[in-house]
Structure 1
Amino acid sequence: MNYIQEMRQLIGSHTLMTVGCGIILEKDGQILLQHRKDNDVWGIPGGVMEPGETFVEAAIRETWEETGLKAEDLILFGLYSGNEGYAEYQNGDKIFSVQIIFHTEKFSGELIQDALESQEHRFFSRDNLPHLNSHQERFILDWVKNSNLPVVK
């Protein structure tokens, strides 16, 4: 059982504060996005930090689990909080997530297409993005705009 499952047993569907860590993986000016299985949106690989992990460890672990890629030399891209961090899942669970987003162009491994949470991974150019996850749209669009690092919102 992971941390989120343990907390849900205690608080039910009430709002749970989480720390999400993700990585913008860039190759030849394109961003790697994953097509989620649970809804028809695209976003960057990442997920919730487990107790005891560093931000970097969580981002690297989640990216590995979701893509099969080992990310290296992470640079802080941005810190994201505010009302955009609220979400309610189909099962009624509510969260407020603070997002720590990294960037790298250095990664290795074999890109997997079908993973536990995603059905496809693909690189996209800045001017040809798919339907984005609304909770990740702001940092993906900051990447599109070549925002200076790090972005704090």
Structure 2
Amino acid sequence: MGRIEYWHDPSAPKANSLVPACGVLAINRDGRILLQRRRDTGQWALPMGKMEIGESPTACAVRETLEETGIEVELTGLLGIFSDPTHIVAYTDGEVRQEYEVTFLARPIAGDPTSNDEASEVGWFRIDQIDDLDIHGTMRRQIAHYVNDTMPHFD
């Protein structure tokens, strides 16, 4: 299923659903961030997906990361809760979603980056490599929140 993301776009269609999504910003011991290239948009993104009924946000984040990247993670904290009524995702099946994203910090505990039916590529990226990637603004905002507010800085 295809999708188009809108952000601060007055031409965006009106949302017809509000869906909680959970994901992770995983950091390996080398300080690299786990990203996947979405098959539906071609853009790089944090692993994240729709929470299922009966599932906790933490379980959703761990499940989605494994499904989308092949990496099993252990959650280490909360990056943030990101909700913006101007961030609209329109799907080809007619759903027009206003996202509500809970993003956790995590570290890898098993697995290797693996492409699949949701991600054409998966990899670990240094912070200085991310600027050159095609990443939607809402994902960049989450990564910037980590880099500017959370990431340890060494002098």
1:45 to 2:47 alignment = yes
Q: Unpaired runs of 5+ in structure 1?
A: 1-12
- Equivalent-residue separation in structure 1 for 2:150 and 2:76 (angstroms): 15
More strand by share: 2
- Aligned 1:85-104 pairs, distance under 5 A: 85-104=87-106
Counterparts of 1:53-92 in structure 2 under 5 Å? 53-92=55-94
> 1:56-91 CA deviation, whole Å, 9 max, x = no partner?
000011111111111113311111112343222345
**Higher alpha-carbon deviation: 58-67 or 131-140:** 131-140
In 1, Cα distance between the equivalents of 2:67 and 2:23?
12
Give the aligned CA root-mean-square deviation in angstroms.
2.0
Map Cα deviations across residues 9-67 of structure 1 (whole Å, 9 max, x no partner).
xxxx9611100100111121111110111112100111000011100000011111111
**1:25–1:105 CA contact under 8 A, matched in 2:** yes
Identity of aligned residues (%): 30
Amino acid at match of 1:42: W
Distance 1:148 1:64 in 2: 24
User: Contact 2:75–2:104 (CA<8 Å) still a contact in 1?
Assistant: no
- In the TM superposition, residue 92 of structure 1 has moved relative to its aligned partner by 4.0
Residue 12 of structure 2 corresponds to residue 17 of structure 1: no
Ranges of 4+ aligned residues in structure 1 off by more than 4 Å = none
Deviation (angstroms), 1:108: 1.1
Using structure 2 for the length normalisation, give the TM-score: 0.78
**Equivalent position amino acid for 1:126 in 2:** I
Per-residue CA distance 1:91-118 (angstroms, 9 max, x = gap): 5420011110001124211321x21111
Cα distance in 2 for residues equivalent to 1:90 and 1:21: 22
CA contact (8 A) 1:77 1:101 kept: yes
Match of 1:6 in 2: none
Structure 1 counterpart of 2:138: 135
In structure 1, what is the equivalent of residue 9 of structure 2?
A: none
C-alpha change, 1:128 and 1:111, in structure 2 (3 Å) is closer
Q: Unaligned stretches of 5+ in structure 2?
A: 1-13
Looking at structure 2, the residues matched to 88 and 141 of structure 1 have their Cα atoms a distance apart, in angstroms, of: 25
